[in-house]
Chains A and B, each alone.
Chain A
Amino acid sequence: MSKYYVNKFLYSIDRDPEWVARYKEDPAATIDRWEKEVGIWLNSAEKTSWLSFTEDERRALINSDYEWLFAYGAHFFLYLTLFIGVFSDDWTEEKGPLSYQLEWARRLAPWIGKPYPSVAL
Chain B
Amino acid sequence: MTSAILISILMTLVAASTPILLAALGELVVEKAGVLNLGVEGMMLTGAVAGFAVAYSSGSTTLGLIAALAAGVATAMIFAVLTLSLTANQVATGLALTIFGIGASSLIGAGFVGRTITRLGPVFPEALAGHPLLRAVFGHDIVVYLSLALVLAVSLFLRKTRPGLVLRAVGENDASAHAIGYPVIAIRYGAIAFGGALAGLGGAYFSLALTPMWADRLTAGRGWIALALVVFAAWRPGRLLLGAYLFGAVMTLELQAKAAGITWLAPELLAMAPYLATIAVLTMMSLGRKTGRLDAPACLGKPFSAS
Specify whether A and B are partners: no
